[in-house]
Amino acid sequence: LWAAPVWVQSVTDSTNSQLLHRLSEGQQLEAGTVLVAEAQTAGRGRRGKSWLSPFGANLYFSMYWPLEQGIQAAMGLSLVIGVAVAKTLEQLFQLPVQLKWPNDIYLDGKKLGGILVELAGQSHSQCDAVIGLGLNIRVPPHLQALIDQPFVALQSVLATRPDRNQLVVVLQQQLVSQLQLFNETGFAPFAAEFSQRDLFAGQQVRLSSVKQQIVGICCGVDERGALLLESDGQRQSYYGGELSLRRM
Ligand code: BTN
């Protein structure tokens, strides 16, 4: 069985930054290469937020993946990653995982993990993606008050403590298999799998960007992975990683 390398670091600034740095230096990485760390000193979340990364507590995971369809595939990519992470957690732990567009992992309506996709060497034919995943396993009590939104950790919903090594390997396999398919077919075959797990399906939501806010009913995603919102009787598609979605 073929498997790309898994690198483990004790402490690093950010596993995403480390892989991006290697790519910017021209290092050739094997597709599916994973870097995990026990702690991050400068963990990064989406929209410029920081991501608390205490030692040995949670999963801090980054994977290198070459996107064969170039930057226009990036929107679908983040949703496919969410689907792959959800499937992994469903298989390993029989948990009913939900996804919040574009790429948050939820359980019981609370955030279990987040995904930060960063692109390098952008061109229209090929670009490199670094896929970062932070998954709450066991959030130390003294840090819980510092988290600015409702969250949940795996250990608090499972009877046993999850094995992080097993989780890393199964995540790598599941991500590689889904991303190989995605490189061949694009997003369309994944739309139903995303919609089945859509946290806000049928609910009234507010979509915010720096410039504007749109209120509408969440109607899933289209075949390219754009969010479908219905407002004033009209359905419209919305793209973009810098948008934020809230329940009304
Ligand atoms: C979010 O929900 O805002 C995304 C969080 C992503 C965090 C992970 S942890 C591993 C990787 N390295 C980082 O610096 N960030 C991502």
Give the CATH number, domain containing residue 212.
2.30.30.100
Q: Which are the contacts of 214, defined by CB distance < 8 A and separation ≥ 6?
A: 206, 207, 229, 231, 238
176, 196, 216 - which closes a domain: 196
Identify the pLDDT of residue 241.
59
Q: Which domain holds residue 141?
A: 6-196
178, 196, 214 - which closes a domain: 196
Residues 192 and 208 in one domain: no
The residue nearest atom 2 of ligand 1, judged by CA position, is 114
Task: Give yes or no for a contact between 99 and 105, defined as CB atoms under 8 angstroms apart.
Answer: yes
Task: Annotate the chain with DSSP letters as a single string.
Answer: -----EEEEEEES-HHHHHHHHHHTT----TT-EEEEEEESS-B-GGG-B----TTTSEEEEEEEEETT-GGGHHHHHHHHHHHHHHHHHHHH----EEETTTEEEETTEEEEEEEEEEES--SS-EEEEEEEEE-S---GGGGGG-SS-B--HHHHSSS---HHHHHHHHHHHHHHHHHHHHHH-SGGGHHHHHHTBTTTTSEEEEE-SS-EEEEEEEEE-TTSPEEEEETTEEEEE--TT-EEEE-
pTM value is 0.93
22, 46, 87, 100: the active-site residue: 46
Structural domain tally of the chain?
2
Q: Is residue 1 part of a domain?
A: no
Residues 164 and 56 in one domain: yes
Q: Is residue 125 part of a domain?
A: yes
Please report the atom of ligand 1 found closest to the CA of residue 46.
3
The residue written with tokens 């692109």 in the block is: 119
Task: Annotate 143-212 with DSSP letters as a single string.
Answer: GGGG-SS-B--HHHHSSS---HHHHHHHHHHHHHHHHHHHHHH-SGGGHHHHHHTBTTTTSEEEEE-SS-
Residues 160 and 96 in one domain: yes
Rounded to 5°, the CA angle 217-218-221 comes to 145
- Distance (Å) from CA 42 to ligand 1 centroid: 10
- Distance (Å) from CA 62 to ligand 1 centroid: 8
Q: Is residue 237 part of a domain?
A: yes
Identify the pLDDT of residue 141.
86
Identify the pLDDT of residue 122.
65
Q: Is residue 104 part of a domain?
A: yes
Q: Is residue 236 part of a domain?
A: yes
Residues 14 and 79 in one domain: yes
Residues 110 and 218 in one domain: no
Write out the binding residues: 14-16, 40, 44-46, 111
Residues 92 and 213 in one domain: no
Q: Is residue 134 part of a domain?
A: yes
- Here the ipTM equals 0.99
Q: Is residue 173 part of a domain?
A: yes
Residues 96 and 143 in one domain: yes
Residues 50 and 69 in one domain: yes
Residues 118 and 172 in one domain: yes
- Distance (Å) from CA 18 to ligand 1 centroid: 12
Residues 124 and 210 in one domain: no
Please report the atom of ligand 1 found closest to the CA of residue 49.
3
- Per DSSP bridges, beta strands 227-231 and 234-238 are antiparallel
Residues 171 and 232 in one domain: no
Instruction: List the chain pLDDT tens, one digit each, 248 residues.
Output: 568 999 999 999 999 999 999 999 999 999 999 999 999 999 999 988 999 999 989 999 999 999 988 777 888 999 999 999 999 999 999 999 999 998 899 999 999 999 999 998 766 677 899 999 999 999 888 888 888 888 999 999 998 889 999 999 999 999 999 999 999 999 999 999 999 999 999 999 999 887 888 999 999 999 999 999 999 899 999 987 566 788 87
Q: What is the CATH number of the domain that holds 94?
A: 3.30.930.10
Left if phi > 0, otherwise alpha if psi is -120 to 50, otherwise beta: which for 174?
A: alpha
Identify the pLDDT of residue 195.
92
Write out the binding residues for biotin: 14-16, 40, 44-46, 111
Rounded to 5°, the CA angle 232-100-73 comes to 90
Residues 105 and 217 in one domain: no
